[in-house]
Chains A and B, each alone.
Chain A
Amino acid sequence: GQNIDQPTEMTATEGAIVQINCTYQTSGFNGLFWYQQHAGEAPTFLSYNVLDGLEEKGRFSSFLSRSKGYSYLLLKELQMKDSASYLCAVMDSNYQLIWGAGTKLIIKP
């Protein structure tokens, strides 16, 4: 079966750096997405990786290793507004998105 694993919850301190990991086992691979979802709100797109390596976008970076079935989202200079759930999703060989359950990130002052 297809599976996306990510930690349920993480805690970090304002101003610090946090890495949220995502491992996947899917039928084929056509890209990996990270979305941010604040409590009670809709998910919003953060990043897309289809090739191995690091994609940097401001304070957020996303890394992909297709051979390891692994990705991480790196958040730098954490701000209180970064408190949210972070959803990892993989597009399989049929271009269907398989979603992880999300990682709830708690930022403490």
Chain B
Amino acid sequence: DADVTQTPRNRITKTGKRIMLECSQTKGHDRMYWYRQDPGLGLRLIYYSFDVKDINKGEISDGYSVSRQAQAKFSLSLESAIPNQTALYFCATSRGTTDTGELFFGEGSRLTVL
């Protein structure tokens, strides 16, 4: 089983619908992240959390919200999806240190908004 699990893996929805992407991890890491990946662009950080009580906006948080339900769970919500939110979304975790900051990624959730 994957250490970082994302659900759903694929989702097609319509404009205006509310969507939740879920992430759970068994690595025991405190830090969790949500990124989106678009063709021709680098990974862009949406939100990140360094522990259950800590939530921070990333580079492109508008139109998104998150919830850190437990150390192991971090969910991303699109309250009212729009077509330009069509992308591949990755959840990632890291240890609570800054020595290397290596990220461990989930398998990705491909979201299509029609």
Q: How large is the interface on B (under 10, 10 to 19, 20 to 34, 35 or more residues)?
A: 10 to 19
Please report whether the interface of chain B is mostly helix, strand, loop or mixed according to DSSP.
loop
How many residues of A are in contact with the other chain, CB < 8 A? 24
Contact of B105 (CB < 8 Å), options: A30, A42, A99: A42
Contacts of A33 in B (CB 8 A): 101-102
**Hey, which bits of chain B sit against chain A, CB under 8 A?**
40-45, 90, 98, 100-108
Q: List 24 A-B contacts (CB under 8 A).
A: A4-B42, A8-B40, A30-B98, A31-B100, A33-B101, A33-B102, A35-B103, A41-B107, A41-B108, A42-B90, A42-B105, A42-B108, A44-B105, A45-B103, A48-B102, A87-B43, A89-B42, A91-B101, A95-B98, A96-B45, A98-B42, A99-B44, A100-B42, A102-B42
Distance in angstroms from A5 CB to nearest chain B CB is: 10
Contacts of B40 in A (CB 8 A): 8, 101
**CB closest residue in chain A, given B4:** A42
Question: With A and B bound together, what is the CA distance between A87 and B40 in angstroms?
Answer: 12
Contacts of A45 in B (CB 8 A): 102-104
With an 8 A cutoff between CB atoms, is A7 at the interface?
A: no
A-B interface pairs (CB < 8 A), number: 49
Closest 5 CB pairs of A and B: A99-B42, A42-B105, A99-B43, A48-B100, A45-B102
Q: Mark A34-73, 1 if CB is under 8 A from B, else 0.
A: 0100001111110010000000000000000000000000
Contacts of B102 in A (CB 8 A): 33, 45, 48
Docked-complex contact A97 and B41, CB < 8 angstroms: no
**CB closest residue in chain B, given A102:** B42
Docked-complex contact A95 and B42, CB < 8 angstroms: no
Contact of A87 (CB < 8 Å), options: B42, B44, B106, B108: B42
**CB closest residue in chain A, given B43:** A99
Contacts of B44 in A (CB 8 A): 99
Question: With A and B bound together, what is the CA distance between A30 and B108 in angstroms?
Answer: 27
**CB closest residue in chain A, given B41:** A101
**CB closest residue in chain B, given A43:** B105
Contacts of B43 in A (CB 8 A): 43, 87, 89, 97, 99
